[in-house]
Amino acid sequence: MQIPPPLESIKQVHRENFTPEIELGLLASSAFISPKFLYDPLGSHLFTAITLLPEYYPTSTEKGIIEQYQNEIAHAASKGGTLIDLGAGNCQKAESLFDSLNPSTYIAIDFSMEYLKEALNKLQGKYPQIAMQAIGMDFSDELSIPSSVPPSGRTFFYPGSSIGNFLSTEAQKLLSEIKKQAGDGGLLIGVDLMKEDAVLKAAYDDSLKVTAAFNLNILRSVNTLIGSNFDVEKFHHIVKINHQENRVELYLEALEDMLVSWPGNTRAFKKGECIHTENSHKYTIDSIKQLLKSSGFASTQIWTDPKNYFAVIYAQ
């Protein structure tokens, strides 16, 4: 039996690196905060709770597709190689592939290193035969797989339609980098498909307001990172569906006039002014195939659910 290496980060994100990026967004004429800052330890736990909600169809639908077509997926992907999990979170989605893909190595990458280590510690105890490694990385900026990871037999796993958080040019840049680093392997990706507004609205503004708490928590995350004084109770969770761009947009709306400050700067918000926190682009089968093709992937195998809500794709 292979003895896994010690659980440690190869590359760790540093909080101080993000101050200029956050400040740039807050001082823009239309304020925005990158969605990656949603995933501090509390935000990561809140998102896990969101995935359990009946209104939030992506997680359960994607899981059903993977379970139904696990043999076909295993036949398409590299068995026994390295599974590289982008945005690993609680690692449960990747774990569902362990029996069928039988990876020798599992690389879990996430922005929230603290949450990732907590999840991976539990997982390593269940699968001692798999070498596991946690990497804290902002792969939206740069995807860098350590040279110690074997170049052959790599399967990148990017579930949950997280690719939808990126603008088309950003998505193509990331997918092109994945293609370059996959070598003779490939990419197993989950993609949310276009559907009626009512389903989307319910998924992003659930009745228990867990998604609202998740969105609002980004202000606490920013307070921690740059020393700002956002008052979460003075903002409201807003969901908009942008049909022109085929995406769901999340905002935080100011409930009153206020002045937010942080070391070296301030930003005035008027009542009704919004901070844009997330885009979630939705695709058609044709549009995602074209995006993958333009990113260097020559072939795709696609599996969907009966309602065509979601697609799981293996691209190589």
In a domain, 189, yes or no: yes
pLDDT of amino acid 6: 44
Residues lower than pLDDT 70 in the chain: 1-16
**Using a CB cutoff of 8 Å and minimum separation of 24, what contacts does 56-61 make?**
56/203, 56/206, 56/211, 57/199, 57/203, 57/309, 57/310, 58/160, 58/161, 58/190, 58/192, 58/203, 58/309, 58/310, 59/160, 61/305, 61/307, 61/309, 61/310
pLDDT digits (tens, 9 = 90+) for 216-274: 999 999 999 999 999 999 999 999 999 999 999 999 999 999 999 999 999 999 999 99
pLDDT of amino acid 3: 43
In a domain, 71, yes or no: yes
Domain count along the chain: 1
pLDDT of amino acid 16: 54
pLDDT of amino acid 264: 94
In a domain, 24, yes or no: no
In a domain, 309, yes or no: yes
In a domain, 169, yes or no: yes
In a domain, 267, yes or no: no
CB 116 within 8 A of CB 110: yes
- For residue 184, the enclosing domain spans 44-195+282-315
In a domain, 203, yes or no: no
In a domain, 103, yes or no: yes
- Please report, for the domain that includes residue 128, its CATH number: 3.40.50.150
pLDDT of amino acid 164: 96
